[in-house]
Amino acid sequence: MAMGSLKYVAFLLMVVSTSHIADAQLSRLLNLINISGLVSCSLNGNIIANPTTPIPPFPNALVEVSCGGNVISSAITNGSGMFNIILNPLQFLLSNLLSSNCNVHVVTPLSNCNATLPSTGILQSPLQFIGTTARGLFNVFNLAPETFQLIGI
């Protein structure tokens, strides 16, 4: 490790172990943005309340978070259709992520989870703020897709 980064780690450790440090300063250093959500294998990728037949999840789908047309992060949904992306708020502004500049896209075609669903178009949703959770020294800002919509068919 380079001397510079060693010094930085030492500085961080010092900050963390100094209990009388201003809360604001501590939380600025130790915030996380946690984007998570469920993608369903339905025409609009959304969960439907009390469906007559249960909607299966969409596993192995590539989910991308884009801002201003640039992909800033991505993840693959797991077997339950869940995805999770952690971002550093020092790198990505929460207010920007929640603005219309940023969106969640499901890039994998819906036909991958159900052959009768469209093989073109992608699901898109804006992000919404769910709440803040404290996790050890971290303040986690939880974000999730609002409502998916099939675009570009």
Residues that bind ligand NAG (CB under 6 A): 32, 34, 36, 41, 43, 56, 78-80, 82, 84, 86, 114, 116-117, 135, 140, 142
**Least spacing, CB of residue 81 vs ligand NAG, in Å:** 8
The minimum distance between CB 70 and ligand NAG, in angstroms, equals 23
Non-local (6+) Cβ contacts of 91 within 8 A are none
Per DSSP, what are the bridge partners of residue 66? Answer: 71, 103
Q: Nearest residue by C-beta to ligand NAG?
A: 79
Q: For the CB of residue 53, give the shortest distance to ligand NAG in the complex, in Å.
A: 6
Q: Write down the least CB distance from residue 66 to ligand NAG, Å.
A: 20
* Nearest-angstrom CA–CA distance, 84 and 122: 19
Query: 22 vs 134, which CB is nearer to ligand NAG?
Result: 134
The distance between the two most distant Cα atoms of the chain, rounded to a whole number of Å, is 62
Q: Whose Cβ is closer to ligand NAG: residue 27's or residue 142's?
A: 142
Judged by beta carbon, residue 68 or residue 117, the one nearer ligand NAG is 117
Cα–Cα distance list, 29 to 7, 22, 24, 77, 109 (Å): 16, 11, 9, 29, 38
Nearest by Cα to 106 from 52, 148, 78 = 148
Which of 38/93 has CB closer to ligand NAG?
38
Q: From 96, 99, 90, select the one nearest 27 (Cα to Cα).
A: 90
Closest distance of CB 112 from ligand NAG, Å: 12
